[in-house]
Each structure stands twice: as structure tokens, then as C-alpha cells.
Amino acid sequence: MVIFGGTGDLAMRKLLPALFRRFADGQIPAASRIIGVAREEQSLDDYRERVARALGDAVAGDGELAGRIPDFLRLLDYRPLDATRDAGWNDFAELMHVQGSERIRVFYLSTSPRIFVDLCQRLRQYGLNDASARVVIEKPIGHDLESACAINDAVGAVFEEQQIFRIDHYLGKETVQNLLALRFANALFEPLWNAAHIDHVQITVAETVGVEQRAGYYDHAGALRDMVQNHLLQLLCMVAMEPPSSLDSDAVRDEKLKVLHALQPINDDNAERLTVRGQYRAGAANGGAAPGYLEDLGQNSSDTETFVALKAEVGNWRWAGVPFYLRTGKRLPARVSEIVVNFRAIPYSIFAEGSGTPTPNKLVLRLQPDEGVKLWLMAKYPGPGGLRLTCVPLDMSFADAFGVAQPDAYERLLLDVVRGNLTLFMRRDEVEAAWRWIDPILAAWASSGETPRGYTAGTWGPSASVALIERDGRTWHDDDS
């Protein structure tokens, strides 16, 4: 496995710790090689030391696991390479050929997308794109439809589609995979999984962090491109897709693609009614004072949104009239990602007025933190004092139910690349269909001449987000309510 961008933040915080955990679990043979590649000159010892520090941080508190770090470091190699210069590429190619072409080779492009094209061309030039090769690309895959197509064309000129693994790490999260198990391994839900029984769906991905060290990238992206185009739409697809005929990668991706195609357009005509953009102002976060976005950015002005709420609709028989409310933002009060499926109200109540009003059932799939599933049901409050209805959850925390730690999304996804399993990766047409839906929203915002609404850091976004859902007589799910 070759990690281009091998000294970068993603490699150090996510990729190498994920590989290390899989190694410690015995899933990566000792004969494997992990080769970090970056532009800077440094010795292998220095690189290993850096990685050792990163792994030490990642497994802090687990002495037994930390004891395995030296074994893992023996798998590591380092090569200084620049995609735009010839120097070093011959040696690198030789190293890869010495390793034997019958071996699976994974090229992980954990770099700026600006050099995806150069890197792929180099790999071809040195004969490294044969059938044993796989390439992994990280978002952002483009800035809009046109640039996404350009990246897909360039990567596709070097690798076959089945060699290209477009990562959306949300698909590797345990709860998202569990959504497949929940929907398709239980007879209970599927008959109810449609407009006749579901009132609406909410998908929230809330973060407490601000833009941190990534202001440069983020200010050119914004929450719609950074989160909605990929993670939130992928979650929506997993909820809304028809049952695929198998877990075969194309069977699943064909169904997701149909959902993306069925999304009703949001454009100049309706964007004002169906979307809300926000940008955080100074406020509070994580128990202390937090600066506003412009201060984080170090600029006087920016029209970039750090919060989006929108109402999407899937135009097909299953979902006609069922809104999917999506919201995501930085500097919100809690780090919470969840999908909330709200069922319809019962048709008629047999209970006396004083018993309390039956609340519609809700199925809450919690992606993070505390991964699990909660099914909110009506029950009788215990006691002889008359029949009082109350809403209580059937609460399954995966950690409690299985007694094992939840692996990081990258652990599953990296091994899937090695196994050649594309089911949890995005196909070219999915990425492009998502952009085809997102572009008109961006265009509508640009032509509206309006700027994002301010919200205080540590709150749930602009009040217009509350109004967006309350106009329809609904409210955002709050687990404490």
C-alpha cells in the first residue's frame, strides 16, 4: 500500500492508525509493505519515528496495543517523490516491481486533488497501473460537476473503473453498514419503509469544531460541497434506495444512483424556500469562548457557509411527499450524527384525553457518538394511577450489545480496497449525479445575492433552519425531548 501524502494529516490521524489496528488484529500479513510518499526528503528512521508518535497518540491509554507499534513500523517504508518531477520515480518503480507484480498494489492518493492527474500519469508512465493495482481517491472529487468529470476522466484514462475506489468515509461507519443489516436482514421494517408509513426523515451531521487548520480549503468549499454533496447524500441514498438484489457493488450502487436521479431539483425557483445557509459568529464551544468564522479565517468577509439545512424530496412511488430534511454545520452545540426516521401518527386514538397524546414512532440510527439504534415507542407508564402514555426508547448501543469497540470507518474501507470490494465506494456516475443536483443550489445561492445568515457558535444554526422544518408542522429531533 502506497500512501501519497504519507506525512499528511489524514495519513497520520486516520490511515496509518487504521492500518495499525488491522495489523494488530492479524489482518495484515507481516510480508505486506506500507510505503509513505511525500515531497520532503527524510530518512526512513525519521519517518518511522513520526508515524510511531502518531500511532502512540491514536492508541493512547492502550498499553498492550502500543506495544505492537514496533512490529508495525517494520512494514513501513518511505520515499520522497514529487509528482511533477522525474527524480526518484525510477527507484520507486523498481521497488514496486521488486515487490512482485502478482501482489496487490494500492495507491492511496491522500493529496490535494490538484495532483491526482499528475500522479496517475506517473503511475502509468512507470507501468504501475496493471491489473493488480488499485487507486483510492479522497474527496473533494471536484468543486462542481465539470471539475469532477475532469478528475474522473483523468483517473479513468489510467485505471479501469473497477480499480478506482472513491472513498466516502461515512459509508465505512458501523451504523451506516448496520442500516443495511437493519433494513434487509429484518422483516419488520421493509413493509413500513415507504410514504404510507413514514412521515419524514431527518439526517443531521453536527460538529462542534470550527474550520480548524483547514480554513484555506474550507473557504473554497463550504458545508454544501464539503458535507452534503458526499456524506449526507450518501446517507440519504442508503435510507431511500430500493432493496438491491445482492450486496454486489454494482447492485447497491445502481440503487443509490436511482435515488440521486430521483431527487427533485432545487434551483433559483425554490432554493430560498428549501435551503438555509449559515456562518458561525463568535460564541461558545466545548465549554469555552469560540471565535467566529471570519476570525478563524483571518479575513474581513467571506460568503462561505459553515451550516446548511435543506429539504430534499425523492420523486418516486416509494417516497412521494416524504421530505428528507438534511442539516450539517460546524460549531454546533454537540457532535452528533444521526438519521431519524419519523413514522406517521396512528390513525385514531382510543385513549382518553388525560392519558397523553400518542407520539409517532421514531427510529433513530446514531452514527456517532455512541453508535446504536433507538426505536421510540409508546408505552404505559407503570402504576395504578390510570393509564398514562409515555414515549420510551428501545435502546441498543452497539458497544453494549456486542462488547467490542467500534472500529474506525477507515479500518473497514482500507481492507475492502485490498479485498477489491467496491460496495462501499462511490462509482463515477454517483459522484457526478450528486454534483448535478448540488450545482443548481450553488448557482441559486450565487444569483440570490444574499449572504449566509449568522449564527452564534454553540447554537443549532440560524433560526431560519428551525423555521424551515416548522413551516411544515414538524421539528428537528432532539434526543432529550
* Positions marked catalytic: 231
Q: Least Å distance between CB 231 and ligand BG6?
A: 6
Residue 369, preceding bond cis, omega within 30 degrees?
Answer: yes
Give the residue with the Cβ less far from ligand BG6, 207 or 313.
Answer: 207
337 or 342, CB closer to ligand BG6? 337
Residues 24-53 that bind ligand BG6 (CB under 6 A): none
- In angstroms, the CA 450 to CA 453 distance is 9
* Closer residue to ligand BG6 (CB): 129 or 230: 230
- Which CB sits closer to ligand BG6, 249 or 337? 337
Binding to ligand BG6 by CB under 6 A, coded x per residue (else -) over 329-348, reads --------x-----------
> 232 or 314: whose CB is closer to ligand BG6?
232
Shortest spacing between CB 472 and ligand BG6, in angstroms: 27
Count residues near ligand BG6 (CB under 6 A): 4
What does the DSSP 8-state code read for residue 13? I
73-112 footprint of ligand BG6 as x/- string (CB under 6 A): ----------------------------------------
Question: Does residue 174 interact with ligand BG6 by CB under 6 A?
Answer: no
CB of 60 vs ligand BG6, minimal distance in Å: 18
- Least separation, in Å, of the C-beta of 480 and ligand BG6? 21
Pair 341, 360: CB distance under 8 Å: no
Site string for ligand BG6, 211-230 (x = CB under 6 A): ---------------x----
Shortest reach from residue 192's CB to ligand BG6, in Å: 28
Cβ 252 to ligand BG6, closest distance in Å?
21
CA distance 185 to 13: 34
Contact between 371 and ligand BG6 (CB under 6 A)? no
Handedness of CA 412, 417, 420, 426 (dihedral sign): positive
Nearest-angstrom CA–CA distance, 234 and 154: 24
- Contact letters for ligand BG6, residues 403-422 (x by CB under 6 A): --------------------
Cβ-based nearer residue to ligand BG6, 158 or 285: 285
88 burial class (0-12, 13-18, 19+ CB within 10 angstroms)? Answer: middle
Give the closest residue to 249 by CA, choosing from 79, 7, 422: 422
Reference 323, options 171, 168, 470; nearest CA is: 470
Grid cell digits, residue 34: 506500507
Q: Are 88 and 80 in contact (CB under 8 A)?
A: yes
DSSP 3-state assignment of 16? helix
207 contacts ligand BG6 (rule: CB under 6 A): yes
Strand boundaries in 286-403, DSSP class E: 288-290, 307-313, 323-329, 336-343, 362-368, 372-380, 389-397
State the residue number with the nearest CB to ligand BG6.
226
For 302, phi then psi, to 5°, come to -165, 140
Residue closest to 203 by CA, chosen among 178, 242, 236: 236
* Largest Cα span, the chain: 83
Residues that bind ligand BG6 (CB under 6 A): 169, 207, 226, 337
